[in-house]
Structure 1
Amino acid sequence: MYESIYAKFVKPAFDDFVLPSKKYTDVIVPRGGDNHVAIDLIVQHIRTKLGNSDILETSAFSQNPALVLAPVVPRK
């Protein structure tokens, strides 16, 4: 049942909308928010670019993050 729903709705929508947008991305994080190593690397890069390692802890970012992680669907 789920395979037919995936094949009929999810996969075509992914192919039509998500896949074409990959060419505009700077970073794709496999497994999204579950990939703690990649998230830590991105946070460290942001801290380095900002030049202040305390900026994220002291700002509204820490209470209400604007970073939205969209999971990447593995291709078969």
Structure 2
Amino acid sequence: MDPINERKMFQQLVRAASQPSTPQCFLLTPKLLPDLEYSDACSILNIMNGPWIEKPSKGTKVDIFLDNRLYFDLLK
């Protein structure tokens, strides 16, 4: 799909999934366009995994993640 239509489809998906009383929606994709607009109702999960990652657990600490998450929640 070209970037223009991909962006339009993503916007429609976010709008539809952000309505009250709508079912949960999962989007699994190997890539997304940069600078997409998300609503506050969206949760983003990035999974960094694969054979090209030599030491996946090195440098990833749950406490650092939670501290960053709390910091960004305060910015809202």
Structure (1 or 2) with the larger CA radius of gyration: 1
The bucket for the TM-score relative to the shorter chain is under 0.3
Flag the structure with higher helix content: 1
Higher relative contact order (Cα pairs below 8 Å, separated by 6+ residues): 1
TM-score by length of 1: 0.26
